[in-house]
């Protein structure tokens, strides 16, 4: 049931009309300093970005932005700061993805084929590295164990690099939202968790550039 719901949400995002202000492949050139900060202090940056995505109002916070079954069941209403800290440190990957989905659903931003390819490659490489480690442990081969260690290292490098790119992309998008690139259309703070609902209509265009056909 949860898988079907996630699939429906992903399909809905493909119908969105807007694109990210900065493509995922261009984030390093767009803001190198923030990319470096995201690379070395990923959980701290994830905390700051989620707080900013919620317009600095943590009373609106829900674990993983309402996109996982555990959302709303972790005592967020009593201590959102602690819950958010726990999320970004223990579930770092989910925290980055949740902020991404939150921004996509709020600003009607589609997931491009390039983004899908990069993210899928990251997930595939991590699973492949895990599989190699299991096989190396079972077989007991020194050569295979050495190869699995190299693959794990490459997987970690690729994972943290992509996460840093995504977080930089989120930061730039919110810079645009907050008018740091010039005057933007006036947008009210969205209702709590409206982005996680499936029965809402597709959000209106927020003045972003449309995906070229």
pLDDT in tens, 107-132: 999 888 888 899 899 889 888 888 88
Confidence (pLDDT) at 163: 95
Q: What is the pLDDT of residue 30?
A: 93
Report the distance separating Cα 198 and Cα 9, nearest Å: 7
Contacts of 208 (CB under 8 A, 6+ apart): 18, 19, 21, 107, 108, 109
Specify whether the CB–CB gap between 18 and 107 falls below 8 A: yes
Query: Is 162 within 8 Å of 28 (Cβ atoms)?
Result: no
The pLDDT value recorded for residue 190 is 56
Q: Which two tokens stand for residue 4?
A: 């079907």
CB atoms within 10 A of CB 137: 12
Query: How confident is the model at residue 201, as a pLDDT?
Result: 46
| Alpha carbons 15 and 27: distance in angstroms, whole number | 24
- Tokens 């993805």: give the residue: 97
Cβ count within 10 A of residue 76: 20
Q: How far apart are CA 102 and CA 194, in angstroms?
A: 9
pLDDT of amino acid 164: 96
- The ranges of the chain with pLDDT < 50 are 1-2, 193-213
The number of residues making up the chain comes to 213
Q: pTM for the whole thing?
A: 0.78
């Amino acid at each position: 049931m949860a898988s079907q719901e996630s699939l429906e949400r992903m399909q809905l995002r493909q119908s969105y009309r807007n694109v990210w202000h900065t493509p995922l492949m261009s984030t390093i050139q767009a803001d190198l300093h923030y990319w470096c900060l995201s690379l070395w202090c990923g959980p701290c940056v994830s905390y700051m970005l989620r707080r900013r995505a919620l317009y600095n109002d943590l009373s609106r916070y829900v674990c993983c932005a309402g996109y996982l079954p555990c959302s709303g069941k972790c005592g967020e209403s009593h201590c959102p700061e602690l819950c958010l800290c726990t999320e970004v440190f223990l579930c770092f990957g989910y925290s980055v993805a949740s902020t991404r989905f939150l921004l996509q659903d709020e600003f009607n931003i589609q997931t491009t084929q390039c983004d899908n390819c990069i993210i899928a490659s990251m997930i595939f490489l991590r699973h492949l590295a895990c599989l190699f480690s299991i096989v190396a442990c079972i077989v007991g081969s020194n050569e295979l164990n050495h190869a699995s260690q190299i693959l794990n290292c490459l997987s970690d490098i690729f994972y943290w690099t992509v996460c840093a790119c995504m977080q930089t992309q989120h930061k730039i998008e919110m810079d645009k939202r907050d008018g740091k690139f010039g005057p933007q259309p006036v947008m009210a703070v969205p209702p709590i968790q409206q982005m996680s609902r499936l029965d809402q209509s597709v959000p209106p265009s927020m003045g972003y550039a449309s995906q070229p056909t």
